[in-house]
């Protein structure tokens, strides 16, 4: 009875950075067996972006990579080598889901696109996550995090009143963070459907569309009323009498939403320490909260809920955005070293023997070290 | 996919309970999660309190008087008004929930404890984590963006922190609740016990803003809003604004694209150097943008593989070539609100979109 919701589901994970790798991480957290594919010639960029030293094995120590890839097994297979491609096709027979967020066309050129893999395994659910989607004139456009704050419309509603629009920036890259919250649910829907009908699906996700979807009511309002106005709105919100961030006597900021205007709010906050002001406002039934920073979030373990966890080596990793059965995340294994489970998985799923594994390693199809040197 | 019967969730039944006296930011999360399931074909019955879901009166308001927010969040659902303060209302709800797969509701709801104990798997939306024991604490979208550390990340360091536009705290939680709901349906469908799901807006916001905590843990210093000191900034152009975004490996292409001799100065050749001289860097970048339109900038930048982001408003997105080509926007004729155009679910499933049905009228 304690079987996890996705026990028995296996995921072939080409997901990189946040949008892709986090979708498969959420599947792993629900009990799926996620095998992450990288190659010595192409690491998950989070291994490189998060580089903290240059000593041997640096590629296995990135905090960002560790945050996003716990509970996965890791394989390193060269996708540009026909032998590597052949191994992937053999693995696809044993998988239920593929997650990928390469630039459009990369897997197709390697003979590993949906067409080829679904011909081998018709039950496969193939989640392709890209900037603009798999079709349309902009399908090949590149984007990076905050590009999509801009092109999705979110930036146009963000900023100080009467000033220029703003993006969430590289320390947030907001549109990258939300796509996996939606894509994971859709993948589970398609897996459920595939179990029922025996047929898989090609799921085409546009990250830009996911971000615009969060402004659905604004787009809808604009369609009915060309006079509907758009501009950065500071911290105000239509329908809320007064809402803003105010500086307190200790120099820290709090946020307040009021049902009726109160011109004295700024002076009230300025006369109190932040925590005192928040407590007094909450007592009066007013929605108020401190504007916390990363250190505040690290310290407040009650507020953290299930969102942060430590793995067996004590490293901080991303937890869950929700809880199931009242519980948070079980870390069953830390993020894999590059190619850590290549031999284990190829033996287990494909029955490869020592000779075959040695052959793949000798020819550079498999590896545990980057072939790219300094990145 | 035009036939409801062919939609993937057609065999599932979901009850969305809107009780009285629930903070707006929680309502939006619940309704978004249920809307996604409804557009995917689930039979979603929305239980509204006497007088209807208050979101029916929430802005933005359409020319015919309806709420765009309500219309967006309640597509493809059915609706039933029940007074949950009355015995008969609660009995009617209990009977409906007995036959459902999943029931969605908010933590402060008067009927929460009964719904947690029923046969339908509970998906519960809360403002705060269980550990804070704060079911009745006043809450708002802004309060959650503040608590989750997101506001600390947006704006100028010497000025007030800013929220992101839209209902991001509610909607990120709504997307999360949808995935939780799907987990429950998948478990039930596989003959397994489905785990009760609990989603709090505060946890989702912190989860989304994970780089704040990971950055603070790695260096002891929290990342924060850098405004005019940040690497990615917004610059004005001839017809609006463009977000200047490029990765370390895209810097040489960016420099070539702008073609200003000042950028060849060696102090700009490393990321550290660009950060140390950020005002000078942007002074050298800005003139290139001034006389070009957003479309021109996007075209030439993309041709060089540089991911600059032209800033579009929601009204402009209605005309975006990419969205029109992909059929991302659905046309809908609403019985009282007239012709509307709205985003569909942001996924194409074997090339097909899930056209929504208009939100229900209030039915007693």
B204 touches chain A (CB under 8 A): yes
Please indicate, yes or no, whether residues A246 and A208 belong to a single structural domain of this protein. Answer: no
Question: How many CB pairs (< 8 A) connect A and B?
Answer: 500
Final residue before a domain boundary, out of A274, A301, A328? A301
Q: CA-to-CA distance for A38 and A78, rounded, in angstroms?
A: 8
| Residue B62 with chain A: CB contacts under 8 Å | 220-221, 224-225
Final residue before a domain boundary, out of A260, A283, A301? A301
User: Is the residue at A232 inside a domain?
Assistant: no
CB contact under 8 A, B151 and A291: yes
Parent domain of A273: 242-301
| Residue B153 with chain A: CB contacts under 8 Å | 168-169, 171-172
**CB within 8 Å of B148: residues ≥ 6 apart:** A292, A297, B169, B202, B204, B205, B206, B208, B209
Predicted complex ipTM? 0.97
Please indicate, yes or no, whether residues A255 and A152 belong to a single structural domain of this protein. Answer: no
User: Is the residue at A3 inside a domain?
Assistant: no
User: Is the residue at A226 inside a domain?
Assistant: no
Please indicate, yes or no, whether residues A316 and A293 belong to a single structural domain of this protein. Answer: no
User: Is the residue at A347 inside a domain?
Assistant: yes
CB contact under 8 A, B142 and A216: no
Question: Parallel, antiparallel, or unpaired: how do β-strands A33-38 and A10-14 relate?
Answer: parallel
Residue B73 has what pLDDT? Answer: 98
Question: Parallel, antiparallel, or unpaired: how do β-strands B240-244 and B309-310 relate?
Answer: antiparallel
Please indicate, yes or no, whether residues A309 and A274 belong to a single structural domain of this protein. Answer: no
Report mean pLDDT in 10-residue bins for chain B, 364 residues. Answer: 70 97 97 98 97 96 95 98 96 97 97 96 98 96 98 98 98 98 96 95 97 93 96 97 95 97 96 95 98 98 97 95 96 94 97 96 82
Q: Looking at the predicted structure, is the pLDDT value of residue A374 above 50? A: no
Residue B363 has what pLDDT? Answer: 77
Selecting from B149, B181, B307 the residue whose C-beta is nearest the C-beta of A147 gives: B307
Q: CA-to-CA distance for A204 and A104, rounded, in angstroms?
A: 11
Please indicate, yes or no, whether residues A128 and A248 belong to a single structural domain of this protein. Answer: no
Q: CA-to-CA distance for A291 and B205, rounded, in angstroms?
A: 13
| Per-residue model confidence as pLDDT tens digits over B290-321 | 999 999 999 999 999 999 999 999 999 999 99
Q: What are phi and psi of B12, to 5 degrees?
A: -110, 145
Q: CA-to-CA distance for B35 and B18, rounded, in angstroms?
A: 13
A63 touches chain B (CB under 8 A): yes
Q: Where are the domains of chain B?
A: 4-212, 231-313
Please indicate, yes or no, whether residues A168 and A280 belong to a single structural domain of this protein. Answer: no
| Residue B325 with chain A: CB contacts under 8 Å | 135-137
Please indicate, yes or no, whether residues A174 and A280 belong to a single structural domain of this protein. Answer: no
B203 touches chain A (CB under 8 A): yes
B158 touches chain A (CB under 8 A): no
B4-212 and B231-313 share one fold: no
The yes or no reply on domain B4-212 and CATH 3.40.50.10540 is yes
Residue B94 has what pLDDT? Answer: 96
Q: Which of residues 332-371 of A touch B (CB under 8 A)?
A: none
CB contact under 8 A, A182 and B179: yes
Q: Which of residues 89-108 of B touch A (CB under 8 A)?
A: none
Distance (Å) from the C-alpha of residue B227 to the closest C-alpha of chain A?
9
CB contact under 8 A, A290 and B147: yes
Residue A50 has what pLDDT? Answer: 80
A26 touches chain B (CB under 8 A): yes
Structural domain count of chain A = 2
Question: Average pLDDT, whole number, for chain A?
Answer: 94
| Per-residue model confidence as pLDDT tens digits over A238-257 | 999 999 999 999 999 999 99
Please indicate, yes or no, whether residues A203 and A326 belong to a single structural domain of this protein. Answer: yes
User: Is the residue at A222 inside a domain?
Assistant: no
Selecting from A63, A145, A218 the residue whose C-beta is nearest the C-beta of B314 gives: A218
Please indicate, yes or no, whether residues A204 and A274 belong to a single structural domain of this protein. Answer: no
Selecting from B132, B198, B204 the residue whose C-beta is nearest the C-beta of A302 gives: B132
Residue A138 has what pLDDT? Answer: 96
Please indicate, yes or no, whether residues A183 and A256 belong to a single structural domain of this protein. Answer: no
Residue B138 has what pLDDT? Answer: 97
Calculate what percentage of chain A has a pLDDT beyond 70: 98
SS (H, E, C) chain B: CCCHHHCCCCCCEEEEECCCCCCHHHHHHHHHHHHHHHHCCCEEEEEECCCCCHHHHCCCECCCCCEHHHHHHCCCCEEEECCCCCHHHHHHHHHHHHCCCEEEEECCCCCHHHHHCCCCEEEEEECCCHHHCCCCCCCCHHHHHHHCCCHHHCCCCCCCCCCCCCCHHHHHHHHHHHHHHHHHHHHHHCCCCCCCEEEEHHHHHHHHCHHHHHHHHHHCCCCCCCHHHCCCEEEEECCEEEEECCCHHHHHHHHHHHCCHHHHCHHHCCHHHHHHCHHHHHHHHHHHHHCCCHHHHHHHHHHCCCCCEECCCHHHHCCCHHHHHHCCEEEEEECCCEEEEEECCCCEECCECCCCCCCCCCCC
Residue A372 has what pLDDT? Answer: 64
CB contact under 8 A, B73 and A217: yes
| Per-residue model confidence as pLDDT tens digits over A219-236 | 999 999 888 877 888 999
CB contact under 8 A, A290 and B178: no
User: Is the residue at A99 inside a domain?
Assistant: yes
A46 touches chain B (CB under 8 A): no
CB contact under 8 A, A282 and B138: yes
| Residue B247 with chain A: CB contacts under 8 Å | 144
Please indicate, yes or no, whether residues A175 and A42 belong to a single structural domain of this protein. Answer: yes
User: Which one is the CATH code of B231-313: 3.30.540.10, 3.30.1540.10, 3.20.20.330, 3.40.50.720?
Assistant: 3.30.1540.10
Residue A2 has what pLDDT? Answer: 60
User: Is the residue at A234 inside a domain?
Assistant: no
Final residue before a domain boundary, out of A286, A301, A316? A301
Selecting from B149, B175, B187 the residue whose C-beta is nearest the C-beta of A294 gives: B149
User: Is the residue at A374 inside a domain?
Assistant: no
Selecting from A141, A235, A326 the residue whose C-beta is nearest the C-beta of B163 gives: A235
Q: For residue B313, how many other CB atoms are within 10 A of its CB?
A: 21
Residue A375 has what pLDDT? Answer: 40
B229 touches chain A (CB under 8 A): no
Please indicate, yes or no, whether residues A161 and A30 belong to a single structural domain of this protein. Answer: yes
CB contact under 8 A, A224 and B317: no
Residue B364 has what pLDDT? Answer: 66
Q: CA-to-CA distance for A265 and A160, rounded, in angstroms?
A: 19
Cβ-based burial of A170 (10 A; exposed 0-12, middle 13-18, buried ≥19)? middle
Average pLDDT for A74-78 = 96
């Amino acid at each position: 009875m304690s079987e996890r919701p996705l026990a028995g589901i296996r995921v072939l994970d080409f997901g990189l950075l946040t949008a892709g790798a986090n979708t498969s991480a959420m599947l792993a957290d629900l009990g799926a067996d996620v095998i992450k594919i990288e190659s010595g010639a192409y690491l998950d960029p989070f291994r490189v972006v998060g580089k903290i030293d240059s000593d041997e094995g640096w590629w296995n120590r990135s905090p960002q990579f560790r945050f996003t890839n716990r509970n996965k097994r890791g394989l390193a297979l060269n996708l540009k080598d026909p032998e590597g491609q052949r191994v992937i096709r053999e693995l696809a027979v044993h998988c239920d889901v593929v997650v990928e967020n390469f630039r459009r066309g990369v897997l197709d050129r390697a003979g590993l696109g949906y067409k080829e893999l679904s011909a081998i395994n018709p039950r496969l659910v193939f989640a392709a996550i890209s900037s603009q989607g798999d079709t349309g004139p902009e399908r090949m456009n590149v984007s990076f995090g905050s590009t999509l704050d801009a092109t999705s419309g979110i930036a146009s509603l963000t900023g100080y009143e009467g000033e220029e629009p703003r993006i969430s920036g590289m320390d947030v890259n907001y549109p990258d963070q939300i796509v996996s919250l939606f894509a994971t649910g859709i993948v589970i829907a398609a897996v459920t459907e595939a179990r029922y009908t025996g047929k898989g699906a090609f799921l085409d996700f546009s990250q830009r569309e996911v971000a615009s979807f969060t402004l659905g009511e604004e787009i809808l309002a604009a369609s009915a009323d060309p006079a509907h106005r758009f501009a950065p709105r500071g911290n105000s919100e239509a329908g809320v009498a007064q809402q803003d961030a105010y500086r307190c006597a200790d120099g820290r900021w709090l946020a307040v939403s009021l049902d009726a205007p109160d011109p004295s709010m700024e002076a009230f906050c300025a006369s109190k320490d932040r925590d005192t002001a928040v407590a007094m406002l909450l007592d009066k039934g007013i929605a108020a909260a401190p504007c916390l920073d990363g250190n505040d979030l690290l310290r407040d373990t009650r507020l953290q809920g299930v969102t942060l966890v430590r793995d067996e080596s004590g490293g901080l990793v991303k937890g869950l955005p929700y809880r199931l059965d009242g519980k948070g995340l079980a870390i069953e294994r830390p993020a894999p070293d590059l190619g850590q489970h290549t031999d284990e998985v190829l033996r287990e799923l494909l029955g490869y023997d020592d000779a075959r594994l040695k052959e793949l390693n000798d020819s550079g199809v498999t590896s545990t070290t980057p072939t790219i040197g300094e990145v | 996919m035009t036939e409801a019967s062919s939609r993937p969730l057609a065999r599932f039944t979901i009850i969305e309970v809107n009780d009285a006296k629930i903070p707006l930011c929680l309502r939006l999360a619940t309704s978004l999660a249920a809307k996604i399931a409804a557009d995917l074909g689930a039979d979603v019955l929305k239980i509204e309190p006497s007088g209807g879901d208050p979101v029916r009166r929430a802005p933005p308001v359409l020319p015919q008087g309806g709420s765009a927010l309500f219309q967006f969040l309640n597509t493809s659902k059915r609706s039933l008004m029940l007074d949950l303060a009355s015995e008969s209302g609660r009995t009617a709800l209990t009977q409906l929930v007995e036959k459902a797969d999943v029931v969605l509701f908010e933590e402060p709801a008067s009927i929460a404890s009964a719904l947690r104990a029923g046969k339908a798997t509970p998906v519960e939306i809360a403002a705060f984590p269980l550990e804070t024991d704060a079911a009745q604490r006043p809450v708002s979208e802004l309060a959650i963006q503040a608590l989750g550390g997101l506001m600390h990340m947006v704006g100028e360091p010497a000025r007030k922190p800013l929220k992101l536009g839209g209902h991001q705290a509610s909607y990120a939680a709504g997307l999360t609740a949808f995935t939780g709901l799907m987990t429950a349906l998948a478990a039930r469908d596989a003959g397994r016990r489905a785990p009760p799901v609990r989603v709090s807006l505060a946890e989702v916001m912190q989860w989304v803003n994970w780089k704040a905590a990971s950055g603070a843990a790695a260096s002891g210093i929290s990342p924060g809003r850098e405004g005019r000191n940040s690497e990615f900034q917004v610059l004005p152009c001839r017809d609006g604004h463009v977000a200047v975004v490029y990765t370390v490996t895209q810097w040489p292409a960016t420099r070539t694209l702008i073609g200003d001799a000042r950028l060849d100065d060696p102090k700009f050749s490393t990321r550290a150097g660009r950060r140390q001289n950020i005002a000078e860097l942007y002074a050298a970048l800005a003139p290139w943008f001034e006389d070009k339109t957003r479309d021109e900038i996007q075209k030439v930048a993309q041709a060089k593989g540089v991911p600059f982001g032209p800033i579009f408003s929601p009204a402009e997105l209605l005309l975006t070539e990419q969205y029109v080509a992909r059929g991302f926007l659905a046309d809908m004729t609403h019985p009282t609100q007239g012709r509307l155009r709205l985003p569909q679910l942001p996924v194409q499933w074997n090339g097909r979109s899930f056209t929504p049905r208009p939100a229900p009228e209030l039915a007693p």
